[in-house]
Amino acid sequence: KTESKTNNFEYKQKLSLLKLIISPLISSSVSSQKKRERERGMGDEDVDDHGKHCRNMSACSSSYSTKLFLFMVPLVILVSCFVFVNLGPKDPTSLLTSLSSSTSHHLPSPPTTAPAPSPLPPDIILPSLPASSLSTKVESVQGNYNRTVRLNPINNITVASNDNVTTTASSEPKKRRVLSNLEKIELELQKARASIKAASMDDPVDDPDYVPLGPMYWNAKVFHRSYLEMEKQFKIYVYKEGEPPLFHDGPCKSIYSMEGSFIYEMETDTRFRTNNPDKAHAFYLPFSVVKMVRYVYERNSRDFGPIRNTVRDYINLVGDKYPYWNRSIGADHFILSCHDWGPEASFSHPHLGHNSIRALCNANTSERFKPRKDVSIPEINLRTGSLKGLVGGPSPSSRPILAFFAGGVHGPVRPVLLDHWEDKDNDIRVHKYLPRGTSYSDMMRNSKFCICPSGYEVASPRIVEALYSGCVPVLINSGYVPPFSDVLNWKSFSVIVSVEDIPNLKTILTSISPRQYLRMYRRVLKVRRHFEVNSPAKRFDVFHMILHSIWVRRLNVRIREV
């Protein structure tokens, strides 16, 4: 660039010298021409005796000027050519280089990649994390999803040859840098998000097993496309550290059966599990809070310290051994717990509670459950470990009871319900204890509506039991986020009643027309497949619905290397 500036300066000096040589000649010719014009301008009035002589002299002068002019023009051309050839720039491209040098070395960077889709209405289909909950390395996706790949610009490079001649060479485009494993993962998620965005404008996709349709879903097409994208590429790495029974184990025949069922499926499923953590979209921390309560917690001690220390030590172990926890500060990691103490155990490590995805049965917003980050999962009581005899029920015309509930007085909601309705109405069957010889499951199958009040905690296995029985659930709670609310529109197949409206319960239920109830009943039969436990797992069952909820939360987080 410096050599180019020097050549331009010398070239301008040579042009100035040429101008000095030619200018006097041109000025002399112009002066002579003006003098002759003044002489001609004297007119006939001033002609004296010497007029004839003057006209002869003027004619001679004009002839002489013409000859001089014809002589000077070729001379000027020859001198100009001589100066340009011998004193001009030696490199014919140096002028172009000098003109383009100011821009060729400062080309703008290529445009960033197109933004991926923002959450579709309703916005909970791809929930957004609060920006304040994550550090600067992890960004929540709110609105457009931007990922910038910066490429080196292509410049014109000036090089010097051996004979000191300056030339300009256009460099080859630099190779696009190789993406890191994390960048590849984020690019895959970006493409999945774009595909989900397009689903809202596409026709429904054929599916050999099931095509979600109807008002039970916030957006059936978006859910279906998201589910298919999950099946196509979602990979989870299960940490191998830890020994049973606290890790890689869980109950499968109790009210907390989802812990053991999910751990078992993750340990045996090869479709979503990867043994290469560099290819994982999410990381599973396979500990069981139920097992910790049984084997670590000292009963009646009220000391939560042993459980808290066990969880914290495990997080520190995988954080020291692998780079993935520290890379995302836990934002792409998840736990699953159905125990009432699951939320408390998750805050044993601050980043686990604040950043990680928590799949919890106790999905209570008053206990720091965040619907946009965490996952509400159903509480399912599998006494035998299977669904045998639990799913099915008669048609609506064979259900003579309007509403039914039976259960102990636990928590703040049930006392209010029992106080108003226990053994007081033949249509609203509310019991603390069932009469002898009465089957709990038969009562649910014979009822149109099944009352599901919260107990000590907001979750209740009665919700799933109602769906299994074909009974429309009536949810009475405060701060509870129903399972899979990011996909399912619970108002379309259940009745949600506030605690304050418990005295008006019969009025609320009888105001539902037979036609409206029939629609709700049919929707219950359709959505209950999402709550069924299968071994091995089947498409769209509860295991896959939990995975899908984790999948959409992971889609919502962008992790960058710093």
Task: Kindly report the number of other CB atoms within 10 A of residue 102's CB atom.
Answer: 9
- Looking at residue 67, its pLDDT comes to 54
Domain parsing of the chain, residue ranges: 2-89, 106-387+537-562, 396-531
What's the pTM? 0.72
Q: Which residues of 271-295 are buried (b: 16+ CB within 10 A; e: fewer)?
A: ebbbeebeebbbbbbbbbbbbbbee
Phi and psi, residue 527, nearest 5°: -85, -15
Question: d(Cα 251, Cα 441) in Å, to the nearest integer?
Answer: 23
Distances from the Cα of 411 to the Cα of 9, 49, 169, 279, 317, angstroms: 91, 141, 80, 45, 38
Dihedral sign for Cα atoms in the order 183, 187, 189, 190: positive
For residue 247, give the DSSP letter.
Answer: B
Q: Which residue has the tokens 């009040």?
A: 453
Per-residue pLDDT of the chain (562 residues; tens, 9 = 90+): 455 545 555 555 556 655 665 665 556 555 555 555 555 444 444 434 444 443 444 444 445 555 555 556 556 555 555 544 454 444 433 322 332 333 333 333 333 333 333 333 334 444 433 333 343 356 655 433 332 222 223 233 223 333 433 444 445 666 778 899 999 999 999 999 999 999 878 777 788 888 899 999 999 999 999 999 999 999 999 999 999 999 999 999 999 999 999 999 999 988 999 999 999 999 999 999 999 999 999 988 889 999 999 999 999 999 999 999 999 999 999 999 999 999 999 999 999 999 999 999 999 999 999 999 999 999 999 988 888 889 999 999 999 999 999 999 989 999 999 999 999 999 999 999 998 889 999 999 999 999 999 999 999 999 999 999 999 999 999 999 999 999 999 999 999 999 999 999 999 999 999 999 999 999 999 999 999 999 999 999 999 999 999 999 999 999 988 7
Single-letter code of the amino acid located at 528: R
> Using an 8 Å Cβ cutoff, are 449 and 403 in contact?
yes
> Using an 8 Å Cβ cutoff, are 304 and 344 in contact?
yes
pLDDT tens track for 141-193: 543 333 222 222 323 322 333 343 344 444 566 677 889 999 999 999 999 99
pLDDT tens track for 316-337: 999 999 999 999 999 999 999 9
User: What residues pair up with 360 in beta bridges, in sequence order?
Assistant: 337, 376
Q: How far does Cα 429 stand from its chain's mean position? A: 47
Question: d(Cα 350, Cα 368) in Å, to the nearest integer?
Answer: 13
Single-letter code of the amino acid located at 195: S
User: What residues pair up with 237 in beta bridges, in sequence order?
Assistant: 283
pLDDT tens track for 27-75: 655 555 555 555 544 444 443 444 444 344 444 444 555 555 555 655 6
> Using an 8 Å Cβ cutoff, are 532 and 261 in contact?
no
> Using an 8 Å Cβ cutoff, are 116 and 144 in contact?
yes
Question: d(Cα 329, Cα 311) in Å, to the nearest integer?
Answer: 16
> Using an 8 Å Cβ cutoff, are 472 and 466 in contact?
yes
- The set of residues, in sequence order, having a beta carbon less than 8 Å from that of 118 and lying 6+ positions away, is 126, 141, 142, 143, 144, 145, 197
Structure tokens at 132: 């304040």
3-state secondary structure 481-549: CCCCCCCECHHHCCEEECHHHHHHHHHHHHCCCHHHHHHHHHHHHHHHHHHCCCCCCCCCCHHHHHHHH
User: What residues pair up with 452 in beta bridges, in sequence order?
Assistant: 475
Class of CATH domain 396-531:
alpha beta
Structure tokens at 412: 């703040």
Question: d(Cα 379, Cα 463) in Å, to the nearest integer?
Answer: 8
